[in-house]
Structure formats: structure tokens, C-alpha cells
Amino acid sequence: MDIITEIRRRHFVSTEKISSIARSLKLSRTTIRKHLKTEVEPVYQRQTQPSPKLGEYRELLRRKHSYPKSSGVQRGGYMMA
């Protein structure tokens, strides 16, 4: 969240204009204004862990990777027995 500190310092201490800050940081002026209004830094907290796209295939993948590896030698992507 150093960007918020940078925005606030440049505007309040260095008296730099909002449009100038937005241009140099490549952010919109509304984003700069939003960060200037904040009193405390925002804290991100996820409510629940979303299930991954592979969720329904998770058990299949576990079973597939739990088999013992063959004793052959692998060369160039091919198994040589």
C-alpha cells in the first residue's frame, strides 16, 4: 500500500496537482481522489476460499499422480525400458 502513501505525500506535502500525480503514476484522477480521502489503509480479507476450476477433477489428479513411477529411463520425453 505504498502507493497510497506516495499519493498522499505528493499531494499534501509537495502540493502536486491531482492530474500531475495521476499522469506520472498512470492512474485515473478518480483513483487518486479516492486514495486522498482514505484515512486508513484498506485491508483485504477473503471471506471464503473459492473452489478452483480443477475442483471436480482434484481426486482424479491425486490418484493419477500417486501411482509409483516406472523403473524405465526417460530420454527426450519417451520412456526407454
Residue 66 belongs to a domain:
no
Would you give per-residue pLDDT tens digits along the chain (81 residues)? 689 999 999 999 999 999 999 999 999 999 999 999 988 877 888 887 776 777 778 788 888 777 666 655 555 666 555
pTM of the model: 0.53
Residue 81 belongs to a domain:
no
18: domain range? 2-37
Residue 28 belongs to a domain:
yes
pLDDT at position 36 is: 94
Give the three cell numbers for residue 29: 484522477
Report the domain count for the chain. 1
Of 65, 15, 54, nearest to 36 by C-alpha is 15
Query: Rounded to 5 degrees, what are φ and ψ at 10?
Result: -65, -35
Residue 31 belongs to a domain:
yes
Residue 23 belongs to a domain:
yes
Residue 25 belongs to a domain:
yes
Residue 56 belongs to a domain:
no
Residue 9 belongs to a domain:
yes
Beta-carbon contacts of 30 under 8 Å, excluding residues fewer than 6 positions away, are none
Tell me how crowded residue 7 is: count the other CB atoms within 10 A of its CB: 23
